[in-house]
């Protein structure tokens, strides 16, 4: 008898066919997030859940799911997991690391280049018919090559960003991390720095930390005041790692030059957010891993984690806290 699974998002046909070989599944086949009320109904008789990082796996849901054995996130992050509640119920959780590292690093460099060279702003300038004479110097951008990049959070994606910076743009790279990465320092020629010194020295500050109680709003008014007035801040981690009000003020008061953001405290961004009115902010819709190939690979990895766990095997991407 096949196990029962609920899939909380649309997935490619090939992934559906793979799941169908091993499981009886129902699916929320929509690009919109599954409504909480529907999810609570669907979990009543399932053994496994293929979820997104926006599907909250908490005590309330677990009480409704007496048969649930595994939740497989199609995401690297798993802030949606109530780890203590899952441990108590002996429900395991998996995620999809490694698959998206290069893709997110590509986007981060896109954000660096777009903000430094004012690509989005100048695109509008041309399309609005304003390019009628020589470009005014007030529209000039900044060089990226041979500048200093500061990376806060040297995980797998941070390493890929550092590699691009050193080998592609001849940048000096400083990094701050909870633990030093001597091997990465030696292989890439990057330098460890305490965070305050990194903020003072870097021309570009990239935030790449996971969201934890320790990293929530780790970039606030004090940290932004340490940065150069010519510095650009890039956040592709989680919106809540930044005090968005302090960032807005720093941008409005020209305490820093610009920002490039893929994540926000509220997602989607409020249509009335003052950030939308600032020409010195490049904004993306939390799309760091969103290429067709990477999203396919993430969905397949999530499905394989789920199938392995339901087969009684240890999936390769069991989250650390639930091992």
Please state the domain count of the chain.
2
pLDDT 10s digits, 58-75: 999 999 999 999 999 999
Distance CA 157, CA 79 (A): 18
Regarding whether 236 and 157 lie in a shared domain, the answer is yes
Regarding whether 199 and 156 lie in a shared domain, the answer is yes
pLDDT 10s digits, 134-184: 888 999 999 999 999 999 999 999 999 999 999 999 999 999 999 999 999
At residue 255, does pLDDT exceed 90? yes
Supply the pLDDT for residue 135.
Answer: 87
The residues carrying an active-site annotation are 238, 267, 286
| Angle, alpha carbons 118-152-214 (nearest 5°) | 125
Regarding whether 69 and 126 lie in a shared domain, the answer is no
Q: Determine if the pTM surpasses 0.75.
A: yes
Q: How many angstroms separate the most distant Cα atoms in the chain? A: 73
At residue 133, does pLDDT exceed 90? no
- Over residues 226-245, the mean pLDDT reads 97
Q: What is the CATH classification number for the domain harbouring 258? A: 3.40.50.720
Note down the domain range covering 151: 101-283
Supply the pLDDT for residue 259.
Answer: 98
Token output for 189 = 């020629």
- Over residues 179-192, the mean pLDDT reads 96
Mean per-residue pLDDT of the chain: 96
Regarding whether 246 and 132 lie in a shared domain, the answer is yes
Distance CA 321, CA 87 (A): 9
Supply the pLDDT for residue 59.
Answer: 96
């Amino acid at each position: 008898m096949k196990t029962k699974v609920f899939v909380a998002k649309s997935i490619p046909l090939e992934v559906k066919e793979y799941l169908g070989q091993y499981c009886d599944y129902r699916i929320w086949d929509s690009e919109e997030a599954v409504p909480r009320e529907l999810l609570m109904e669907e979990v009543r008789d399932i053994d496994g859940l293929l979820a997104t990082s926006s599907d909250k796996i908490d005590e309330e849901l677990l009480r409704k799911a007496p048969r649930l054995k595994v939740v497989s996130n199609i995401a690297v992050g798993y802030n949606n997991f109530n780890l203590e509640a899952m441990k108590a119920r002996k429900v395991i959780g998996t995620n999809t690391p490694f698959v998206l590292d290069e893709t997110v690093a590509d986007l981060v460099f896109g954000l660096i280049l777009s903000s430094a060279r004012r690509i989005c702003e100048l695109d509008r300038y041309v399309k609005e018919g304003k390019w009628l004479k020589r470009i005014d110097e007030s529209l000039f951008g900044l060089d990226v090559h041979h500048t200093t990049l500061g990376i806060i959070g040297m995980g797998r994606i941070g390493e890929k960003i550092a590699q691009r910076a050193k080998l592609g743009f001849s940048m000096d790279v400083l990094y701050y991390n909870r633990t030093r990465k001597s091997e990465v320092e030696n292989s890439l020629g990057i330098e460890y720095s305490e965070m305050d010194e990194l903020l003072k020295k870097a021309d570009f500050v990239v935030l790449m930390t996971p969201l934890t109680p320790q990293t929530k709003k780790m970039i606030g008014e004090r940290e932004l005041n340490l940065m150069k007035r010519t510095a650009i801040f890039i956040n592709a981690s989680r919106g809540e790692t930044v005090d968005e009000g302090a960032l807005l003020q720093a941008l409005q008061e020209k305490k820093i030059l610009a920002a490039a953001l893929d994540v926000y405290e509220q997602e989607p961004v409020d249509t009335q957010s003052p950030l939308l009115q600032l020409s010195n902010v490049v904004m993306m819709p939390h799309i760091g891993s969103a290429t067709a190939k990477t999203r396919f690979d993430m969905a397949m990895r999530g499905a394989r984690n789920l199938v392995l766990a339901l087969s009684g095997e240890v999936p390769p991407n069991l989250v650390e806290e639930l091992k």
